[in-house]
Chain A
Amino acid sequence: MRMQRCKGTQDLSPEEMRKFRLIEGAFRDCCLKWGYEEVRTPTLEYLHLFTSTGTLTPGTLGKVYSFLDWDGWSGERVVLRPDATIPVARSYIDAGQDGGLTKLFYVTNIFIFEETGKETRERWQCGAELIGAGSTTADVELITLALDILKKLGFRKVELQLSHAGLIRALLAEFGLTSQEQASVFDQILDGDEAVFNRLKAKTPEVGEALAPLLDPKGQSAGFLRNLKALFRRDLPEFEPALDNFIDIVDLMEAMDYSYQIDIGSGRGFEYYTGIIFQLSAGRQRVAAGGRYDALIPLMGGQEVPASGFALYLDPLMGLVKPETLDGQLPEKVLIRAGDSTPETIREGFRIAAYLRETGYGAEMDLGTQPTEDVRWILDVKNEAPRFVVTDTTTKKEFKARTAKEVLALLGGNGDS
């Protein structure tokens, strides 16, 4: 009987792991330089952490891996973490933070059931959360950080789409939906159902008529938002705060020369957003998303504190990272052969291997079955002088050396230079 991998899961091969670590490394490096600190939350959380209104949508909750723990006779379920932001917010509250500025980042997996088993059910995210800052500068900082990381990973064409949760809520209220219906429609929009606006428009044509410019809201400038504001100033003053906030952010982004697209209907499956929502795409795939969620921490029993964050999606990014980005990641490799296989030459082999590793080379002992394609140098260890013979596999030339230092000099001095 052949043992099979669990449906909807993936093995990461050595090559994929190199890509994974490359992305993770670029992400960690940027975050640390930007003053963010790394955290890790548990894989298991209580289900009720995610069920409160304003956390996850029922659509997402219907797909979490939940089960009764070994002491779960009370019926309360635990889940495999279906989202990364909510646990970080929980840990922030748990740690008794005082509402002051906290900048956190994490690399984590999340678990969501996906029916067909074609997509992976365990997904990896690199995320950053900025808690305690509510300014437009904070919003733009996160977008800039995300773009910075993608740039470091060699992505040249990254598309930025902007939406605003406050504006969506104001818009839905305009359709006369009850708060219950509003929530479920918003859920549908955030679950990615963009056709929902069109259905609404069909249902109440007169409101749809008035709101048509917003219902098909695609624009590429702050001017577009100012036009909308001018259009609605008299009829729909309740749109103003959200629009003003949106305009401020977009103004700042224009000052920083960012190109972007405004698309109100874009979004993802969270309903905890209150302000700006952004997503980044590369190669037509969504590779990052985030936004402002000022209500989440108070809703979970924490203090009134503004917060925002984003996550990079490792799985699509791994598929998009170009192979050349990986070049230079691995040190030059030296294969060490202990000529007569006596204990003395083997010992000498291990010794020089250790020395070469310290000086920045990759050094491997020949175990008899070593593939040699990616080996730059072969080092034969003899039990008589000269003890070492170095072969350059590219030129096939041989060099003799008596000491480890001479070997190093022959190799060019520094493996990772």
Chain B
Amino acid sequence: MGETVTVKIALPKGRLLETTATLLRKAEWGLEGYNQSMRNYRLGSRRFPDLQAKVFNERDIPVQVAVGNYDLGICGLDWVEELSIKFPSSALVKLRNLGYGEGVVCLAASHHQPAPTTEELKEETELIRIASEYPNLAEYLALGLRLRRFSVFPLWGAAEAYPPESAALVLVSYPTEQEVLASGLVSVNVLLNHSAFLIANKNSWEQKDLSEIVGSIEGQLPFTAEIQSKKAATISAEKGYHPWQTDEDTVRIALPDGHQQTHTVTLLNKAGIRVEDYPSENGNRRPGTDLKGVVIKVIRPQDMPLQVANGNFDLAVTGHDWLTDHLTMFPSSPVTELLDLKSGRVKMVAVVSREVPADDIYSLRQLVAKQTTPFRVASEYVNIADKYARDNHLGMYKVVPTWGATEAFLPEDADLLIENTETGRTIARHNLKIIDTLFESTGCLIGSRNETSSLVKQERIESIVGKLRAAVEGE
């Protein structure tokens, strides 16, 4: 055995956190503060002093391990496959099924219509729209099924809200096939059964001694999580939604889920628009409304500009930041801001580690010019980040897409962040500093510049925009 070397591991937040924490507790790693309420993403191990653990969104982990920022990682096999199906030469080794966090990735349709067979899908000559958080797997599946014509909408979430009106098919992951049904979907084709996996960077695996760490986990397998019992209880009754009854006069509105809901409800109340069961306690994504000729779905604000561009929705409440990201990618998109809602004000900022000797983008550019390694820009807003790096001539840069908690990427795993911030406190707490402000962002109502299908619909849209404008201006 040689001298000790630092080993880095990427651990998951979210759905796998508790089970993974239990496993590592049994393996006696002595990780301090790996729990749902953690404030620090960097963790040390009492048992393995040379181990550095960092906590990521699960989806970021395969990328971080593949690029060699981490030697080991724990995440769902679904995200590993999402990466390696598109980039088969990724330096990833799947070491061990950890036996928890099971799920099934399947292609699903609305249960309100007879599910199409794969033969029927193959014969279809019209465009088939597939929405998914797994765009690479979705494309792979569509090619494998020999679909003649398809388009894939990448999603941030809420895929179950899309069929049948906004997408014919969704590629989704649920713990079991029953739960696919429970969310109003029916499985057409099962692509993958997955569970939590221990993965390694290929070079690390071939060159570093990871035996003690891997062995400590191996010793606990097969491992059944104590908290798994919770799972069965949370399966709700089938969400008995009704598909939209729409005609050319119907106005289709997208409202945000997540923390933007509070602002949105306040605004709707002020405008005198009643929306029932929003926010919904049981995850209903199709709230009712007293507005005539209007239907509503609740989806992720990140996904809205693309959905409006595609004509799936006429109006949507999202953020100026997401609209800007969309228009940066698609400059001729028909989506436009109809109304500034003046809520949820944040700044889009460029952030570096406090250790970096640059206080503005110009001095940063000079630093980058001397650098011989690629400059890494991490952001949830990949198009804004790409344009910013391009416009500011940050040399040989690459954009690292992230799915949240981007602050934790600096300084080890990225050199610059493009992030939104309300107060700047989180940035300061992570020992980071702002070197540039790109723009301010508030909530906004978006719509399409394309002509609407009918005059009645046009009038309805104008009426809703009018009510919301009055509510905003009345503040």
Shortest distance in angstroms between B118's beta carbon and chain A's nearest beta carbon? 8
- Determine whether the beta carbon of B310 is less than 8 Å from that of A76: no
Task: Give A115 to B372 CA distance when docked, in angstroms.
Answer: 25
- Determine whether the beta carbon of B151 is less than 8 Å from that of A76: yes
- Determine whether the beta carbon of A51 is less than 8 Å from that of B151: no
* B residues less than 8 Å from A52 (CB atoms): 146, 148-149
* B residues less than 8 Å from A51 (CB atoms): 142-143, 146-150
* A residues less than 8 Å from B148 (CB atoms): 48, 51-53
* A residues less than 8 Å from B309 (CB atoms): 73-74
- Determine whether the beta carbon of A73 is less than 8 Å from that of B396: no
- Determine whether the beta carbon of A71 is less than 8 Å from that of B122: no
Pick the contact of B306 from A1, A48, A73 — CB < 8 Å?
A73
Pick the contact of B310 from A53, A61, A70, A74 — CB < 8 Å?
A74
- Determine whether the beta carbon of A70 is less than 8 Å from that of B147: no
Decide yes or no whether A35 CB sits under 8 A from chain B: no
Task: Give A53 to B147 CA distance when docked, in angstroms.
Answer: 8
Which residues of A in the span 56-83 have a Cβ within 8 Å of any Cβ on B?
Answer: 58, 61-62, 68, 70-77
Decide yes or no whether B428 CB sits under 8 A from chain A: no
Task: Give A53 to B122 CA distance when docked, in angstroms.
Answer: 8
Task: Give A62 to B142 CA distance when docked, in angstroms.
Answer: 11
- Determine whether the beta carbon of A48 is less than 8 Å from that of B149: yes
Task: Give A48 to B153 CA distance when docked, in angstroms.
Answer: 16
Write the B306-335 contact mask toward A (1 if CB under 8 angstroms, else 0).
100110000000000000001001111100
Task: Give A362 to B363 CA distance when docked, in angstroms.
Answer: 53
Pick the contact of A75 from B129, B140, B395 — CB < 8 Å?
B129
Write the A43-57 contact mask toward B (1 if CB under 8 angstroms, else 0).
000001001110000
Q: Which of A72, A74, A115, A116 has the most CB of B within 10 A?
A: A74
Number of A-B contacts (CB under 8 A): 57
Main secondary structure of the interface of A (DSSP, over half): loop
- Determine whether the beta carbon of B149 is less than 8 Å from that of A62: no
- Determine whether the beta carbon of A70 is less than 8 Å from that of B146: no
Pick the contact of B331 from A48, A70, A116 — CB < 8 Å?
A70
Residue of B nearest to A2 (CB): B372
* B residues less than 8 Å from A62 (CB atoms): 140, 143
Decide yes or no whether B444 CB sits under 8 A from chain A: no
* B residues less than 8 Å from A68 (CB atoms): 329-330
- Determine whether the beta carbon of A74 is less than 8 Å from that of B395: no
Shortest distance in angstroms between A160's beta carbon and chain B's nearest beta carbon? 32
- Determine whether the beta carbon of B127 is less than 8 Å from that of A76: yes
Known: A51-B148, A51-B149, A52-B148. A70 touches B143 (CB 8 A): no
Task: Give A297 to B357 CA distance when docked, in angstroms.
Answer: 63
- Determine whether the beta carbon of A61 is less than 8 Å from that of B143: yes
- Determine whether the beta carbon of B372 is less than 8 Å from that of A1: yes
Decide yes or no whether B211 CB sits under 8 A from chain A: no
- Determine whether the beta carbon of A73 is less than 8 Å from that of B150: no
* A residues less than 8 Å from B151 (CB atoms): 74-77
Shortest distance in angstroms between B207's beta carbon and chain A's nearest beta carbon? 20
Write the B283-327 contact mask toward A (1 if CB under 8 angstroms, else 0).
000000000000000000000001001100000000000000010
Which residues of A in the span 253-274 have a Cβ within 8 Å of any Cβ on B?
Answer: none
- Determine whether the beta carbon of A48 is less than 8 Å from that of B150: yes
Known: A48-B148, A52-B148, A62-B140. A75 touches B330 (CB 8 A): no
* A residues less than 8 Å from B396 (CB atoms): 1
* A residues less than 8 Å from B150 (CB atoms): 48, 51
Decide yes or no whether B89 CB sits under 8 A from chain A: yes
* B residues less than 8 Å from A74 (CB atoms): 151, 309-310
Known: A61-B143, A115-B89. A71 touches B149 (CB 8 A): no
* A residues less than 8 Å from B114 (CB atoms): none
Residue of A nearest to B373 (CB): A1
* A residues less than 8 Å from B258 (CB atoms): none
* A residues less than 8 Å from B329 (CB atoms): 68, 70
* B residues less than 8 Å from A115 (CB atoms): 88-89
A selection of 8 A-B contacts at a CB cut-off of 8 Å is A51-B142, A51-B143, A51-B146, A51-B150, A53-B122, A73-B309, A73-B310, A74-B309
Q: Can you add 14 more A-B contacts, CB < 8 Å, to A73-B326, A75-B153, A76-B149?
A: A48-B149, A52-B149, A58-B146, A61-B143, A62-B140, A68-B329, A70-B329, A71-B330, A72-B330, A73-B330, A75-B310, A76-B127, A115-B88, A116-B89
Tell me the B residues contacting A by CB distance below 8 Å: 88-89, 122, 127, 129, 140, 142-144, 146-153, 306, 309-310, 326, 329-333, 372, 395-396
Q: What 8 pairs between A and B have smallest CB-CB spacing?
A: A75-B151, A73-B309, A48-B149, A52-B148, A53-B146, A115-B89, A73-B330, A61-B143
